[in-house]
Homo-oligomer: A and B are copies of this chain.
Amino acid sequence: MNIKVIGHYIGKFGELWQQGLTDLVKEGVEGVLADAAIDPASIDAIFVANKAGGSFNEQRHLGALVSEHFTHLPPAMRVEGACASGGLAIIAAQQALLSGLYKTVLVLGVEKMTDVSSGQASAILATAASREKEYGSTFPALYAVLANYHMHRYGTSREQLSSVVVKNHQHALSNPKAQFHKEFTLEQVSNSTLVASPLRLLDCSPISDGVAAVILSSQTSARQTQILGFGQGQDTLALQDRQDLGQLMATKKAATQAFKMASLSQKDIQAIEVHDCFSIAEILATEDLGFFAKGEAAKAVATGKTTYGGQLVVNPSGGLKACGHPVGATGVKQVAFLASLIEAGQFERALAHNVGGSGATAVVNILGKSKK
């Protein structure tokens, strides 16, 4: 396996009232082609990640919309797995490259969420866990169940949850594309408006617009950052059907596969982007990915082990929490952002972790310049 990231682009995340879905697509295509500095005609196929352009934007043929930006109109398909759509599109693209049918492909993740009200957006998002939506559960409510369980079983504290948020907002300060550039104190997070106990407003990732894109290639290139391994895990859609609310099994399965494919282990990784849709989700992720034992991740965050100078850097972009969460773009942004850090020599190997629903789908991609 030798799939290189030969181009990457991340647009500004935020409430982009001046840009519609088609504007974001255009920005992503032009941005990633400029970064890769390749002939657009060398794009053999396109994989588009988007959760709900039909409902957010009345657009239900997004693959064709992206392909239109190329005079040779490469074949395009949209890939969807709720909030894991970005990670899944990167997996679909790699499967296509490994099949030998294509040499160079574009993966573009995009979501334009602020065309509808926050209430409508929340309702659309909640249908990724539809059996629970029937009982009135929104995503904050479902992750609140996971948080309560974790606090009860492992002693995770309110202040430790807040430390995830403080760290990610600090990280976002140095990311110009982040939605928020604002520091918070532990007290501000712990005292923000209650959404679904114990989760408060500042525990929750925002509703965002944004685009991210990567170009993946099996060809030789001056760009040396590769995807060394990937994996995908599934779990039941509904929390009520799971054996253990203290872990996300889909994340464990995806990580096991990806590390095996890459012939690497957790100690080989220096930076990770994880799916922190809520503060508790980052704690679950770093445990289930195998970086911390169960019950240890919350302490690790609070004692600075997951930021610069610690054991590994978790969410250097600011994560979903502070960089923003334009759903279909998120998984692509994680890979694009880590590729840029590896190219800059900041880290040697890194891992991206993208989750759909309340953990029913999880995707892991491991990046680096070489295996060891």
The contact of A58 among B73, B81, B130, B357, by CB within 8 Å, is B130
How many of these chains are in the complex?
2
CA of A62 to CA of B88, assembled, Å:
14
Q: If A55-B55, A99-B95 touch, does A237 touch B65 (CB 8 Å cutoff)?
A: yes
Bound CA–CA A98/B97 (angstroms): 10
Partner of A95, one of B95, B127, B234, B237: B95
In the complex, chain B residues whose CB is within 8 Å of the CB of A95: 92, 95-96, 99, 101
Tell me whether A61 and B234 are in contact in the complex, defined as CB-CB below 8 angstroms, given that A55-B55, A77-B88, A98-B100 are known contacts. no
Structural contact, B234 and A74, CB atoms closer than 8 A: yes
Determine the distance from Cα of A127 to Cα of B133 in the docked complex, in whole angstroms: 26
Residues of B contacting A55 with CB < 8 Å?
Answer: 54-55, 60
In whole Å, how far is A1's beta carbon from the nearest beta carbon of chain B?
10
Q: In the complex, A233→B82 CA distance in Å? A: 26
Does the CB pair B54–A81 fall under 8 Å?
no
Q: Is A67 an interface residue (CB 8 A)?
A: yes
B133 touches A63 (CB 8 A): no
Contacts of A266 in B (CB 8 A): none
Are A64 and B81 also in contact (CB < 8 A) when A55-B55, A95-B101, A127-B58 are? Answer: yes
A88 — which chain B residues lie within 8 A by C-beta? 77
- Which bracket fits the contact residues of A? 35 or more
Task: Give the contacts of A226-285 with B (CB-CB under 8 A).
Answer: 232-237, 241, 250
Chain B proximity of A278: nearest CB distance (Å) = 17
- A51 on interface, CB distance cutoff 8 Å: yes
Judge whether B92 and A77 touch: CB under 8 Å: yes
A59 within 8 A of B: yes
Are the CB atoms of B360 and A64 closer together than 8 Å?
yes
> Does A196 have its Cβ within 8 Å of any Cβ on chain B?
no
Report if A124 contacts B (CB, 8 A).
yes
A237/B61 in contact, CB under 8 A: yes
Binary contact track A72-93/B, C-beta < 8 Å → 1, others 0: 0111111111100000100110
CA distance A235 to B235 in the complex (A): 37
Please list the residues of chain A having a beta carbon within 8 angstroms of any beta carbon in chain B: 51-52, 54-55, 58-65, 67-68, 73-82, 88, 91-92, 94-101, 124, 127-130, 133, 232-237, 241, 250, 356-357, 360-361
25 contacts between A and B (CB under 8 A): A51-B60, A55-B55, A58-B127, A58-B133, A60-B124, A61-B127, A61-B128, A61-B129, A61-B357, A62-B80, A64-B81, A64-B237, A64-B361, A65-B130, A67-B234, A68-B241, A73-B235, A75-B233, A77-B80, A77-B232, A78-B81, A79-B80, A92-B92, A96-B99, A97-B99
Nearest 4 CB-CB pairs, A to B? A98-B99, A64-B360, A75-B232, A61-B128
20 more contacts with CB within 8 A, not counting A77-B232, A79-B92, A80-B80, are A54-B124, A55-B60, A60-B80, A60-B82, A60-B128, A60-B130, A61-B127, A61-B129, A61-B357, A63-B80, A67-B234, A73-B233, A73-B235, A73-B236, A75-B233, A77-B79, A77-B91, A77-B92, A78-B81, A95-B99
